[in-house]
Amino acid sequence: MTWQRRHDAVLRYTVERPAARNAEIAEATGYSVWHISRIMRSPEFDRRYRAAADTVLLDATRRLLGGP
């Protein structure tokens, strides 16, 4: 699967709402539930999701510890 700009919307939504169900993500992004499932199972999504989640976690840790 080729990564598309609209896939970034799926990525952002799942990082911001990790407990969201595929139907909710589909409604928010305009994809079908089937397509959301397909995107989220792709190795590229997994790689990008892990990187984004790591960034969010590091930012939150810095804020908690009072760092820049």
pLDDT class of 1 with cuts at 50, 70, 90: low
**Average pLDDT taken over every residue of the chain:** 89
> pTM score, two decimals?
0.77
What is the mean pLDDT of the segment spanning 17-43?
95
- C-alpha 66: how far from its chain's center? 26
Per the model's pLDDT, the better-predicted residue between 28 and 61 turns out to be 28
C-alpha span between 40 and 4 (Å, rounded): 13
What is the mean pLDDT of the segment spanning 3-10?
82
